[in-house]
Amino acid sequence: MRVTGACQCGAIRYEAEVDPQAVGICHCTDCQRLTGSAYRVTALAISNSFQITAGVPRRYRKIGDSGQPSDQFFCGDCGSPLWRESADGEIGIRLGTIDQRRELKPHHQSWLGSALPSFLDIRDLERHEGS
């Protein structure tokens, strides 16, 4: 599936091919801190399809527990996290930045041992449409 996306302010734009079956949720503590949320949702870009079409992102290099680098790319203006590139070149795009995000859904979860229990099932939470 062809996708396009951008940061909140629009300074950084990209396009890529993603596998709709390769969308996942990660509950690890690194992802919680890197997103400022309970988990991260990522769509995996198909190899060599990812392309920046506008702007120059900033990079933060995180060394994982494996000892391998994980480069986190974000907008230097608005701070939006955009994608991650692993040491082997795999690119995971942050779902919230994809223009076509409504067409994608997660197919797997990982690092459930780090998951915040209250966020695993939010169906019964009070709902406020449009606010």
Flag whether pLDDT at 119 surpasses 90.
no
Mean pLDDT computed over 104-131:
84
pTM (whole model) above 0.85? yes
34: part of which helix (H) or strand (E)? helix 29-35
Note whether 83 and 55 are within 8 A (CB).
no
Percentage above 70 pLDDT, the chain: 98
pLDDT tens digits along 70-84: 999 999 999 999 999
pLDDT tens digits along 25-64: 999 888 888 888 888 999 999 989 999 999 999 999 988 7
Note whether 110 and 26 are within 8 A (CB).
yes
**pLDDT value, residue 131:** 59
Identify the three-state secondary structure at position 106. coil
For the chain, helix, strand, coil in percent to 5 are 15, 40, 45
